[in-house]
Chain A
Amino acid sequence: EDQVTQSPEALRLQEGESSSLNCSYTVSGLRGLFWYRQDPGKGPEFLFTLYSAGEEKEKERLKATLTKKESFLHITAPKPEDSATYLCAVTNTGGFKTIFGAGTRLFVKA
Protein backbone atom coordinates (compact mmCIF):
# COMPACT_ATOMS: atom_id res chain seq x y z
CA GLU A 1 0.00 0.00 0.00
CA ASP A 2 1.25 3.49 -0.87
CA GLN A 3 2.44 5.33 2.23
CA VAL A 4 4.20 8.54 3.27
CA THR A 5 5.88 9.00 6.67
CA GLN A 6 7.36 12.31 7.80
CA SER A 7 9.81 12.88 10.63
CA PRO A 8 10.19 14.45 13.05
CA GLU A 9 6.60 15.33 13.95
CA ALA A 10 7.81 18.65 15.36
CA LEU A 11 11.11 20.51 15.21
CA ARG A 12 12.18 23.49 17.24
CA LEU A 13 15.14 25.53 15.95
CA GLN A 14 16.89 28.71 16.89
CA GLU A 15 17.10 31.34 14.18
CA GLY A 16 20.07 30.49 11.96
CA GLU A 17 20.23 26.83 13.07
CA SER A 18 20.12 24.71 9.90
CA SER A 19 18.37 21.32 9.85
CA SER A 20 16.57 18.76 7.66
CA LEU A 21 13.09 17.30 7.48
CA ASN A 22 12.61 13.72 6.29
CA CYS A 23 9.92 12.16 4.10
CA SER A 24 10.00 8.39 3.61
CA TYR A 25 7.69 6.95 1.00
CA THR A 26 6.45 3.67 -0.42
CA VAL A 27 4.65 3.94 -3.73
CA SER A 28 3.86 1.63 -6.63
CA GLY A 29 5.73 3.73 -9.17
CA LEU A 30 6.53 7.36 -8.39
CA ARG A 31 4.98 9.95 -10.65
CA GLY A 32 5.97 12.90 -8.48
CA LEU A 33 6.94 13.90 -4.94
CA PHE A 34 5.75 17.25 -3.65
CA TRP A 35 6.61 19.57 -0.78
CA TYR A 36 4.11 22.09 0.52
CA ARG A 37 4.15 24.64 3.32
CA GLN A 38 0.97 25.14 5.35
CA ASP A 39 0.25 27.96 7.78
CA PRO A 40 -2.44 27.40 10.45
CA GLY A 41 -5.97 27.42 9.05
CA LYS A 42 -4.81 27.97 5.46
CA GLY A 43 -4.42 25.87 2.34
CA PRO A 44 -1.05 24.27 1.50
CA GLU A 45 1.35 26.46 -0.49
CA PHE A 46 3.35 24.71 -3.21
CA LEU A 47 7.12 24.59 -2.77
CA PHE A 48 8.70 21.87 -4.95
CA THR A 49 8.00 18.95 -7.27
CA LEU A 50 10.64 16.21 -7.67
CA TYR A 51 10.34 13.45 -10.25
CA SER A 52 13.36 11.16 -10.07
CA ALA A 53 16.11 10.03 -7.71
CA GLY A 54 19.04 12.42 -7.60
CA GLU A 55 16.96 15.46 -8.41
CA GLU A 56 17.42 18.60 -6.28
CA LYS A 57 15.57 21.92 -6.21
CA GLU A 58 16.20 25.12 -4.27
CA LYS A 59 14.19 28.15 -3.30
CA GLU A 60 15.61 30.80 -0.96
CA ARG A 61 16.58 28.99 2.29
CA LEU A 62 14.98 25.67 1.23
CA LYS A 63 16.46 22.79 -0.73
CA ALA A 64 14.64 19.55 -1.55
CA THR A 65 16.38 16.31 -2.52
CA LEU A 66 15.06 12.91 -3.62
CA THR A 67 16.29 9.33 -3.40
CA LYS A 68 14.46 6.12 -4.32
CA LYS A 69 13.02 5.79 -0.81
CA GLU A 70 13.01 9.24 0.76
CA SER A 71 13.16 12.97 0.31
CA PHE A 72 14.76 15.63 2.48
CA LEU A 73 13.83 19.26 2.89
CA HIS A 74 16.94 21.13 4.03
CA ILE A 75 16.45 24.49 5.73
CA THR A 76 19.52 26.71 5.84
CA ALA A 77 19.74 29.52 8.40
CA PRO A 78 16.00 29.55 9.11
CA LYS A 79 14.12 32.67 10.17
CA PRO A 80 11.02 32.93 12.39
CA GLU A 81 8.86 33.43 9.29
CA ASP A 82 9.79 29.90 8.19
CA SER A 83 7.68 28.56 11.07
CA ALA A 84 4.90 26.45 9.54
CA THR A 85 3.89 22.85 8.88
CA TYR A 86 5.76 21.26 5.98
CA LEU A 87 3.86 18.57 4.10
CA CYS A 88 5.24 15.88 1.81
CA ALA A 89 3.05 14.07 -0.75
CA VAL A 90 3.45 11.50 -3.53
CA THR A 91 1.43 10.66 -6.62
CA ASN A 92 1.74 7.19 -8.12
CA THR A 93 2.11 6.39 -11.79
CA GLY A 94 -1.65 5.97 -12.13
CA GLY A 95 -1.87 9.67 -11.37
CA PHE A 96 -5.29 9.42 -9.79
CA LYS A 97 -4.41 9.67 -6.13
CA THR A 98 -2.06 11.80 -4.06
CA ILE A 99 -1.04 10.66 -0.59
CA PHE A 100 0.14 13.11 2.05
CA GLY A 101 2.21 12.58 5.14
CA ALA A 102 1.10 13.99 8.48
CA GLY A 103 3.57 16.85 8.22
CA THR A 104 6.43 18.28 10.28
CA ARG A 105 5.63 21.31 12.42
CA LEU A 106 8.60 23.67 12.38
CA PHE A 107 9.08 26.33 15.03
CA VAL A 108 11.89 28.85 14.57
CA LYS A 109 12.67 31.06 17.55
CA ALA A 110 14.33 34.46 17.17
Chain B
Amino acid sequence: ETGVTQSPTHLIKTRGQQVTLRCSSQSGHNTVSWYQQALGQGPQFIFQYYREEENGRGNFPPRFSGLQFPNYSSELNVNALELDDSALYLCASRDGQMETQYFGPGTRLLVL
Protein backbone atom coordinates (compact mmCIF):
# COMPACT_ATOMS: atom_id res chain seq x y z
CA GLU B 1 0.00 0.00 0.00
CA THR B 2 1.44 3.35 -1.07
CA GLY B 3 1.28 6.16 1.47
CA VAL B 4 0.65 9.85 0.87
CA THR B 5 3.32 11.50 -1.25
CA GLN B 6 3.99 15.18 -1.86
CA SER B 7 6.11 17.16 -4.31
CA PRO B 8 8.34 19.03 -4.32
CA THR B 9 10.04 18.51 -0.95
CA HIS B 10 11.43 22.04 -0.82
CA LEU B 11 10.67 25.23 -2.74
CA ILE B 12 11.96 28.80 -2.70
CA LYS B 13 9.84 31.61 -4.16
CA THR B 14 9.85 35.38 -4.05
CA ARG B 15 7.07 37.60 -2.78
CA GLY B 16 4.27 38.08 -5.33
CA GLN B 17 4.92 34.84 -7.20
CA GLN B 18 2.53 31.91 -7.51
CA VAL B 19 3.20 28.32 -6.41
CA THR B 20 1.60 24.90 -6.99
CA LEU B 21 2.12 22.03 -4.57
CA ARG B 22 1.10 18.46 -5.38
CA CYS B 23 -0.18 15.51 -3.39
CA SER B 24 -0.93 11.89 -4.20
CA SER B 25 -3.43 10.33 -1.82
CA GLN B 26 -3.01 6.97 -0.17
CA SER B 27 -4.56 4.17 -2.22
CA GLY B 28 -8.33 3.94 -1.70
CA HIS B 29 -8.66 7.40 -0.10
CA ASN B 30 -11.15 9.82 -1.69
CA THR B 31 -10.83 12.73 0.73
CA VAL B 32 -7.83 15.03 0.93
CA SER B 33 -7.08 17.97 3.22
CA TRP B 34 -4.34 20.57 3.12
CA TYR B 35 -2.68 22.17 6.15
CA GLN B 36 -0.20 24.97 6.74
CA GLN B 37 2.25 24.50 9.61
CA ALA B 38 4.39 27.42 10.72
CA LEU B 39 7.52 26.71 12.74
CA GLY B 40 6.70 25.69 16.30
CA GLN B 41 2.94 25.59 15.73
CA GLY B 42 0.34 22.94 15.02
CA PRO B 43 -1.03 22.40 11.51
CA GLN B 44 -3.73 24.90 10.44
CA PHE B 45 -6.55 23.56 8.27
CA ILE B 46 -6.71 25.19 4.81
CA PHE B 47 -9.41 23.19 3.02
CA GLN B 48 -10.75 19.71 2.31
CA TYR B 49 -11.78 18.05 -0.97
CA TYR B 50 -14.12 15.11 -1.37
CA ARG B 51 -14.71 13.62 -4.79
CA GLU B 52 -13.30 16.69 -6.55
CA GLU B 53 -15.41 19.21 -4.61
CA GLU B 54 -14.27 21.53 -1.83
CA ASN B 55 -16.46 20.74 1.18
CA GLY B 56 -14.67 22.54 4.00
CA ARG B 57 -12.43 25.56 4.39
CA GLY B 58 -10.46 27.16 7.18
CA ASN B 59 -9.63 30.83 7.72
CA PHE B 60 -7.46 31.30 4.64
CA PRO B 61 -7.94 33.97 1.92
CA PRO B 62 -9.12 33.11 -1.60
CA ARG B 63 -5.58 33.28 -2.96
CA PHE B 64 -5.26 29.79 -1.47
CA SER B 65 -7.09 27.48 -3.88
CA GLY B 66 -7.07 23.81 -4.70
CA LEU B 67 -8.05 21.03 -7.04
CA GLN B 68 -8.74 17.35 -6.67
CA PHE B 69 -8.51 15.09 -9.71
CA PRO B 70 -10.50 11.95 -10.62
CA ASN B 71 -7.64 9.78 -9.35
CA TYR B 72 -7.95 11.68 -6.01
CA SER B 73 -4.56 13.38 -6.34
CA SER B 74 -4.64 17.03 -5.39
CA GLU B 75 -3.02 20.43 -5.87
CA LEU B 76 -2.69 23.45 -3.62
CA ASN B 77 -2.22 26.75 -5.42
CA VAL B 78 -1.14 29.95 -3.68
CA ASN B 79 -1.19 33.24 -5.57
CA ALA B 80 0.51 36.52 -4.70
CA LEU B 81 2.86 34.91 -2.21
CA GLU B 82 3.59 36.78 1.02
CA LEU B 83 6.51 36.35 3.41
CA ASP B 84 4.15 34.86 6.02
CA ASP B 85 3.29 32.05 3.61
CA SER B 86 6.66 30.49 4.45
CA ALA B 87 5.75 27.21 6.17
CA LEU B 88 5.53 23.43 5.90
CA TYR B 89 2.51 22.51 3.76
CA LEU B 90 0.98 19.16 4.61
CA CYS B 91 -1.43 17.02 2.67
CA ALA B 92 -3.52 14.36 4.41
CA SER B 93 -5.85 11.77 2.94
CA ARG B 94 -8.54 9.48 4.32
CA ASP B 95 -11.31 7.17 3.26
CA GLY B 96 -14.47 9.29 3.26
CA GLN B 97 -16.18 6.75 5.54
CA MET B 98 -13.40 6.85 8.13
CA GLU B 99 -12.15 9.65 10.33
CA THR B 100 -8.41 9.01 10.54
CA GLN B 101 -6.20 11.07 8.23
CA TYR B 102 -2.76 10.01 7.08
CA PHE B 103 -0.21 12.67 6.31
CA GLY B 104 2.42 13.07 3.66
CA PRO B 105 5.98 14.25 4.39
CA GLY B 106 5.16 17.88 3.53
CA THR B 107 6.55 20.56 1.24
CA ARG B 108 8.75 23.22 2.83
CA LEU B 109 8.03 26.59 1.19
CA LEU B 110 10.28 29.58 1.74
CA VAL B 111 9.14 32.98 0.46
CA LEU B 112 11.85 35.62 0.15
Contact = CB atoms under 8 A, between A and B. Distances in A.
Interface of A: 4, 6, 31-32, 34, 36, 41-46, 49, 51, 87, 89, 91, 94-103
Contact of A44 (B45, B55, B58, B103): B103
Contacts of B48: 96-97
A13 B33 CA distance: 34
Interface residues of B, number: 25
A60 B2 CA distance: 24
Contacts of B101: 34, 46, 98
B58 A32 contact: no
- A interface SS class: strand
B99 A42 contact: no
A45 B35 CA distance: 14
Interface in B88-112: 88, 90, 99-106, 108
B26 to A, nearest CB: 11
B43 A100 contact: yes
